[in-house]
Amino acid sequence: MTDPAILLTLDSGVATITLNRPDKLNSFTETMHGELLAVLTQLASDETVRALLLTGAGRGFCAGQDLSDPIMRTGSDALDMGETIDRLYNRLIRALKALQVPVICAVNGVAAGAGANLALACDIVLAARSASFIQAFAKIGLVPDSGGTWFLPRLVGPARAMALSLLGEKISAEQAQQWGMIWKVLDDGQLMDEARGLAQHLARQPTKALGLIKQALNATWSHTLGEQLDLERDLQRSASKSPDYAEGVAAFMAKRPAEFTGK
């Protein structure tokens, strides 16, 4: 029996997904896509889940597409990468970005190609000091996908996004942090403890409000200031009607820690 390509654990409101093809640096096969999408779909409708942590097994985070997978039939008429991008990678990134709960990525090793962009699609990205990021696409005659041409320029600016994409150069986790591509670099031995701690912290916060914050910040890129002010008004109206807002104010006034339910 083959090992599952995706491992899922659920604990105290935190879902942890581990990409689990360590001997291939957790690169994507069609099977892994199917398992990951199924898990994300399951989590999206599970109200007990209040934070998601994504990481990889072994020494890599994810090396993008498994170049030996049959769907990569190079030179064959049957190959329609537009179709596989639509059906697999675009669905994955859309499903991940649609999650209302905070998504933390713990990049435990190399993140290449679609693996790098999968990490960038997450809300808070932590990386081990030994990890690295590579827009590997141009090296094999492809174009960055999985949202890379959308995330990268917004995170690091157009000059760095262009050079990283055209050169396919590996950058270190520290460089990625200095450029604002990721949130934090941690010593390798501390990465998972910190990532779990962060996920557990977020799982105790006002989940509904966090979802609305994500909605606001994700919408900002295509909005004028006027549109964003209107959106903030609408989201604040919604947040202010939540039980967690009532609890937050009550706890503040009573000088006690808030006990948010996520509602």
Q: Which residue in 19, 92, 95, 134 binds ligand T3D (CB under 6 A)?
A: 134
1, 2, 45, 68: which one binds ligand T3D (CB under 6 A): 68
In degrees rounded to 5, what are phi and psi of residue 170?
-75, 130
- Applying CB under 6 A, among 112, 127, 161, 198 the residue interacting with ligand T3D is 112
CB 114 within 8 A of CB 89: yes
- Interacting residue with ligand T3D among 6, 14, 15, 63 (CB under 6 A): 63
Span from 34-42, 81-89, 157-165, 174-182 in contact with ligand T3D (CB under 6 A): 81-89
Contact positions with ligand T3D (CB under 6 A) in 192-251: none
Radius of gyration over alpha carbons of the chain, in Å? 19
State the nearest-atom distance from the C-beta of 30 to ligand T3D, in Å.
9
Helix axes 30-44, 91-98, angle to 10 degrees: 20
Residue nearest to ligand T3D (CB): 64
CA-CA-CA-CA dihedral for 180, 37, 212, 195, to nearest 10: -50
- CA 8 vs CA 31, 68, 81, 94, 100: distances in Å: 15, 25, 29, 20, 18
Smallest gap from residue 137 Cβ to ligand T3D (A): 5
C-alpha neighbours within 13 Å on the C-beta side of residue 240 = 6
Answer yes or no whether residue 120 interacts with ligand T3D by CB under 6 A.
Answer: no
Residue 70 or residue 157: which is nearer to ligand T3D going by CB? 70
Provide the token pair at 196: 């779990």
Out of 18, 55, 65, 165, the residue judged to bind ligand T3D by CB under 6 A: 65
Q: Which is nearer to ligand T3D, 140 or 229 (CB)?
A: 140
Residues 190, 200, 64, 164: what is their CA dihedral angle, to the nearest 10 degrees?
Answer: -70
| 147 contacts ligand T3D (rule: CB under 6 A) | no
Burial 137-170 (b: 16+ CB within 10 A, else e): beeeeeebbbbbbbbbbebbeeebbeebbeebbb
* Binder among 8, 17, 119, 145 for ligand T3D (CB under 6 A): 145
Asked if 107 touches ligand T3D (CB under 6 A), the answer is: no
Q: Contact with ligand T3D (CB under 6 A): which of 7, 31, 44, 81? A: 81
Ramachandran class of 196: left when φ > 0, alpha when ψ lies in -120 to 50, beta otherwise: alpha
Q: Give the Cα separation of 19 and 35 in Å (integer).
A: 10
Instruction: Tell which one of 7, 44, 138, 142 touches ligand T3D (CB under 6 A).
Output: 142
Output the smallest distance, CB 136 to ligand T3D, in A: 4
Question: Could you tell me the smallest distance in angstroms from the CB atom of residue 75 to ligand T3D?
Answer: 14
**Residues within the interface to ligand T3D (CB under 6 A):** 24-25, 27, 63-68, 71-72, 81, 84-85, 89, 110, 112-114, 134, 136-137, 140, 142, 145
